[in-house]
């Protein structure tokens, strides 16, 4: 199956698990390339389970000349697409999007969006805010495009490209995400 | 962004051994234990109540470590 990036209207399916995973990584990288040129690290734990993250957290430059760091970690599975016989798709299993002031993974985050239903008693997506410790603010599923957009708009992260380019990428990739998501973003 | 740039995949695939080394380093930094010890103690239920506020970085560690997982986290 020829692959075209989401920004060209392509989809992220594949003819087998690995191809679907590879195509999904193109999509993730394209979204993250709006704010960083760093490479992602990926690991295939099994035929159907993949992990992708920044190792170490990637540095982000702010418009005021400051620095922030992004710790992005996502676990996803790949398997047959029940709606498209012969095609394979990916499904996000867990994620962590953390905004840090230091590159140290053990540093306390400015904020963090988490969904880790396998790793603690708290199974629903939630938000941590450093200034309000110990509170798990409930959220909908948060897509990476919304998180990247928030970093640019509200945390002053400097985009790596023109406004028209990053907005177009985030809009198209969010649309692709909403189309393929097994459980959806809750719109107000 | 040009479409040529968008089509470039910048992903470094790593081996099982490299992944284990990253988990080990992460566990040492976050909890002061080895990756293997973290996995053993996680399976024993020691970290079930830990979260980002109490131990920053522990959630990423749990995501990266080869821990038992349900077939699907959640379906809606």
The predicted pLDDT at position A75 comes to 96
- Count, residues in chain B: 76
Residue B62: list chain A partners with CB under 8 A.
116, 118-120
A 79-138: CB under 8 A from B: 91, 93-96, 98, 104-109, 112, 114-124, 128, 133-134, 136
CA A125 to chain centre: 14
pLDDT confidence tier of residue B2, bands split at 50, 70 and 90? very low
Domain boundaries, chain A: 6-180
Q: Could you tell me if the ipTM is greater than 0.90?
A: no
Average pLDDT over residues A119-130: 85
Q: How far apart are CA A170 and CA A37, in angstroms?
A: 16
Average pLDDT over residues A50-69: 97
Q: Does A155 touch chain B (CB under 8 A)?
A: no
Residue A77: list chain B partners with CB under 8 A.
72
Nearest residue in B to A72, CA atom: B60
In chain B the first and final C-alpha atoms are separated, in Å, by 34
Strands A67-80 and A126-129, bridge-based pairing: unpaired
- Nearest-5° angle of CA A180, CA A181, CA A185? 130
Q: Does B29 touch chain A (CB under 8 A)?
A: yes
Please provide the average confidence, as pLDDT, over all residues in chain A.
89
Average pLDDT over residues A77-102: 93
pTM of the full structure: 0.88
Q: Answer with the residue of higher pLDDT: B74 or B35.
A: B35
Q: How far apart are CA A39 and CA A34, in angstroms?
A: 13
Q: How far apart are CA B61 and CA A113, in angstroms?
A: 15
Average pLDDT over residues B61-73: 77
Q: How far apart are CA A46 and CA A58, in angstroms?
A: 26
Strands A126-129 and A137-138, bridge-based pairing: antiparallel
Instruction: Tally C-beta pairs within 8 A across A and B.
Output: 149
């Amino acid at each position: 199956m020829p692959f075209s990036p989401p920004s060209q209207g392509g989809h992220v399916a594949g003819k087998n698990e690995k191809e679907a995973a590879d195509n999904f990584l193109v999509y993730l990288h394209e979204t993250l390339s709006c704010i960083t040129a760093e490479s992602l690290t990926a690991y295939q734990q099994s035929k159907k389970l993949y992990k992708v993250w920044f190792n170490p957290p990637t540095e982000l430059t702010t418009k005021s000349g400051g620095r922030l760091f992004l710790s992005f970690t996502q676990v996803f599975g790949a398997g047959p697409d029940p709606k498209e016989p012969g095609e394979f798709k990916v499904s996000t299993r867990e994620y962590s999007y953390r905004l840090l002031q230091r590159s140290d993974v053990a540093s306390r985050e400015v904020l963090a969006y988490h969904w880790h239903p396998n790793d603690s008693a708290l199974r629903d997506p939630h938000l941590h805010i450093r200034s309000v410790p110990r509170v798990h603010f409930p959220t909908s599923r948060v897509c990476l495009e919304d998180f990247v957009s928030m970093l640019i708009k509200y945390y002053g992260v400097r985009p790596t490209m023109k406004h028209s380019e990053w907005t177009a990428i985030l809009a198209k990739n969010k649309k692709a995400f909403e189309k393929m998501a097994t459980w959806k973003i809750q719109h107000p | 962004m040009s479409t040529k740039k968008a089509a470039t995949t910048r992903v470094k695939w790593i081996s099982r051994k490299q992944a284990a080394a990253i988990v080990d380093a992460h566990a040492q930094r976050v909890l002061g234990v080895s990756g293997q010890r973290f996995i053993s103690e996680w399976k024993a239920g020691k970290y079930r109540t830990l979260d980002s506020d109490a131990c920053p970085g522990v959630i990423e560690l749990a995501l990266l470590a080869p821990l038992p997982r349900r077939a699907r986290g959640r379906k809606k």
